[in-house]
Amino acid sequence: MHAPYPTPLAALRAAAATQGEREALAFPHQGRRLSFAGWLAEAEAVARGLLALGLKPGAHVALLAENRIEWPVAQLAVAAAGMVLVPLNTHYRAEDLGAALATSRAEALLLSARFRSNAYLDMVRALRADLPALRHLILLDAVEGERHFNDLRAEGIALPEVAPRAPASLQFTSGTTGIPKGALLTHQGMLMNAWGTAQRLRLTERDRLTSIIPLFHCAGCIMGILACLQSGAAYVGVPAFDAEEMCRVIAAERCTALSGVPTSWLAMRDLPARKNYDLTSLRTGTCGGADANPGILADCVRDFPIPGLVQVYGQTEASTLISCADCEDPERLETAGEPLPGMEVRIVDPQSGAVLPAGEIGEIQARGPMVMLGYFERPEANAETITPEGWLRSGDLGCITPTGRIRMAGGRLRDMLIRGGENIYPVEIEAVLAQHPAVAEVAVFGIADAYYGEIPAAALRLRHAVPSADLAAFCAARIARFKVPAAWFTVTAYPLTASGKIRKTELRAMAEGGRLERFA
């Protein structure tokens, strides 16, 4: 079933008509809440304000802010004005920010003055002379001499007709495999994706969803905001992830759904203070990423409890999710479920491109209206990523089970190791090591070797000291010996992307550069 709404504004108007004063947005840390009717009124007023500045439909409007109530208001306003939203990573420093603003050709920037140690306004002021396209700064905080978001509202300006297939968001990739690229997504693709996800999670107006994921990430502003909007659920926002604070918010707001990544679920599972909070309101939730360990998910289902927790799989270029398990699917922890409605999926041999049968591991490819229009002004990257037949090359390894579900089998294609001609999939080794009582968290990656070409290495966050020989024996009893890590490292924290994914390329560089601690 496709999304019932052609544009976000149509969805918000329908929600305001049917849900009225029901709470739509709650950001407890700000003490701010909006009903669907209030959200609509603010979004339409801000949309008219953007048009009053002289910005035209199709203009690129960047947004640089932590999770706060102005974020979804601005998101819907930009959509209502027919403009293209450019969400910016809140971890950006000056060089990253300048590159993103220049690359996206943003004409306006809505921003927080600062967040944590990042003084965004100071950075933008220093960069602005080199950004000729950037005509307008709109502050979400009160700063003398700068235009404030609250002053942007206008009346009496007609909002444009917006085509469902029009570019809606220029979403930068998370950058785990290189320089981030801006994926152009459509209103139709994003709404279809969020709608399909809401259906699999069985979200209704009785639900309250919260998330550890930043709103600038597609899983925040699409899977979170647009799924809630179309299902009538409330979105409960937090500014940044903290395991105990998330427990506090869930308990206080009686949240029924929680969206996270493996590292966040692990942190909450291992939080001693979790027992101090009543999390029994939780009904469903999502965990995405090739490193989503079924054992950890099963622990969360039992211990939170959260009976309808599901594994999901996706990427920015597909408007967020490619597949999502149904919250009542018996296979929801071991697989990432069936492809979303409207998404075609196939598995191909990474070398030959031949389509593989069920059960065989290869590259996951997806096709359909949820796939991006392309990378903004990157024709060479488009040719590498989308086949002439429209298939998105995900770069992820997996298989399709006999029941039609996607099983993540080896992480990124670039993560796959080739040891003396033998293919090794890190996720398989990680799943084994995660079962060892001394291992709190694990990442397996390849390092160069003069004889084999490369060998598997493991970076472990340990609960207590353990000899590497014991871990090697534990692995050897369960997987082939050539897959057993040949190098062992300890870490207290991993290098992560903004969405919580472990940067394995950085781990490899750290290991080969002698910047990881080995243990025997």
Nearest to 381, CA basis, from 118, 126, 180, 121: 180
- Give the Å distances, CA to CA, from 503 to 2, 295, 326, 350, 444: 35, 22, 29, 22, 11
Question: pLDDT of 8-63, one tens digit each?
Answer: 999 999 999 999 999 999 999 999 999 999 999 999 999 999 999 999 999 999 99
Nearest to 222, CA basis, from 45, 89, 76, 108: 76
pLDDT over threshold 70, residue 382: yes
Question: pLDDT of 284-338, one tens digit each?
Answer: 999 986 567 888 899 999 999 999 999 999 999 999 999 999 999 999 999 999 9
- Return all residues near 147 (Cβ < 8 A) that are at least 6 apart: 136, 137, 138, 139
pLDDT over threshold 50, residue 376: yes
pLDDT at 1: 41
Question: pLDDT of 502-518, one tens digit each?
Answer: 888 899 999 999 999 99
Question: pLDDT of 390-431, one tens digit each?
Answer: 999 998 889 999 999 999 876 667 777 878 777 788 888 998
Helix H segments across 54-169?
Answer: 70-80, 94-104, 120-127
* Cβ neighbours around 281 below 10 Å, total: 15
Structural domains of the chain ordered from first start: 8-399 (3.40.50.12780), 416-518 (3.30.300.30)
pLDDT at 439: 95
Q: From the centroid of its chain, how far is CA 375?
A: 18
Burial readout 98-109 (b: 16 or more C-beta within 10 A, e: otherwise): bebbebbbbbbb
Reported residue count of the chain is 520
Backbone torsions φ then ψ of 400, nearest 5 degrees: -105, 125
Question: pLDDT of 155-194, one tens digit each?
Answer: 999 999 999 999 999 999 854 444 578 999 999 999 999 9
